[in-house]
């Protein structure tokens, strides 16, 4: 994983069922990258410098307006995590919507963005 840039961080909250479901669909390489990154994010938070704003309406039909993403491993890894912001005790916290492959090669495999879109709408 990239060196921590320091600076402000955002706490992360993960629903174990969502993480388990997404990890069950990951390749061995994806699992090796995602699991330690998510453990670190939950333990230490996500540096604000690693967060990127998700696109609103995208040509693939996804709408992740109001969401942020982080690439795994930072700064430009093959996998990503998509979060929506919430408040916990009056402080912002990032809630995991989905984690997985950003742009899968297989057309039948949904991207992390498609999974996050579906969960956001649910």
The answer to whether the beta carbons of residues 66 and 87 sit under 8 Å apart is no
Give, in order, the Cα–Cα distances in Å from 116 to each of 2, 3, 62, 89, 96: 24, 27, 9, 25, 9
- Does this model's pTM top 0.85? My answer is yes
Average pLDDT for 7-12? 94
The residue ranking higher by pLDDT, 91 or 6, is: 91
Q: At the top level of CATH, which class does the domain 9-121 belong to? A: alpha beta
pLDDT of residue 60: 83
Q: What does the pLDDT look like over 66-105, one tens digit per residue?
A: 999 999 999 899 999 999 999 988 899 999 999 999 999 9
pLDDT band at 5 (very low <50, low <70, confident <90, very high): confident
- The predicted model gives 10-23 an average pLDDT of 97
Residues 31-74: tens digit of each pLDDT = 999 999 999 999 999 999 999 999 888 888 899 999 999 999 99
State how far the Cα of 99 lies from the Cα of 102, in Å rounded to an integer.
9
Q: Which residues of 35-67 are buried (b: 16+ CB within 10 A; e: fewer)?
A: eebbeebeeeebbeebbeebeeeeeeebebeeb
């Amino acid at each position: 994983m990239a060196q921590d840039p320091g600076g402000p961080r955002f706490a992360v909250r993960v629903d174990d069922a969502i993480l388990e479901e997404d990890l069950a669909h990951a390749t061995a390489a994806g699992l090796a990258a995602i699991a330690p990154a998510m453990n670190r994010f939950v333990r230490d938070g996500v540096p604000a410098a690693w967060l990127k704003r998700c696109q609103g309406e995208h040509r693939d039909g996804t709408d992740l307006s109001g969401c942020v993403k982080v690439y795994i491993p930072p700064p430009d890894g093959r996998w990503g995590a998509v979060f929506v912001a919430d408040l916990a005790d009056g402080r912002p916290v990032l809630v995991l919507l989905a984690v997985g492959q950003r742009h899968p090669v297989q057309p039948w495999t949904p991207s992390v963005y498609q999974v996050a879109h579906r969960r956001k709408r649910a």
